[in-house]
Amino acid sequence: MGLIGRQQSSGAFLKLDDISSQFNGSTSTFNLTIGGQAFFAGNPYTLLVSIGGVIQEPIAAFTINQNQINFASAPRVGADFFIVVLATTNVDPLRSLTIGRRSGAHNIDLHGRAFAVKDRAGNTHSIAFNLA
């Protein structure tokens, strides 16, 4: 039977690494990873989060900051947990950028990093990347 309703817009579903072993009843902020690598969720509404079998509402029950999830209240010790990413892009993320000509080119790590550049007038401009 085919999918009823709106078709999946992009990408495959992903399951993030389990963080329930870190639940101690007092900590409410945890790093998000997939395969041990930092995961940067661009939008909390693309995450299906379950704690103790209860689906958590984005913004009300949790927020996302860079590669961290912050729960409104600390999960209890031993609570079951999972996060499924409901939408991703179908392209490989850009992880580095080469600027300049081949001789004297500079390679910049982009994955969740921030850096600054100077324009010709000497003004500094901050640049930050949050790649999901």
pLDDT tens, residue by residue, 4-39: 555 555 556 889 999 999 999 999 999 999 888 888
Question: What is the phi-psi region of residue 26: left when phi exceeds 0, alpha when psi lies from -120 to 50, beta otherwise?
Answer: alpha
Per residue in 64-105, pLDDT tens?
998 999 999 999 999 999 999 986 654 455 555 556 655 555
Residue scoring higher pLDDT (59 or 90): 59
SS3 28: coil
C-alpha 74/C-alpha 127 separation (Å) is 33
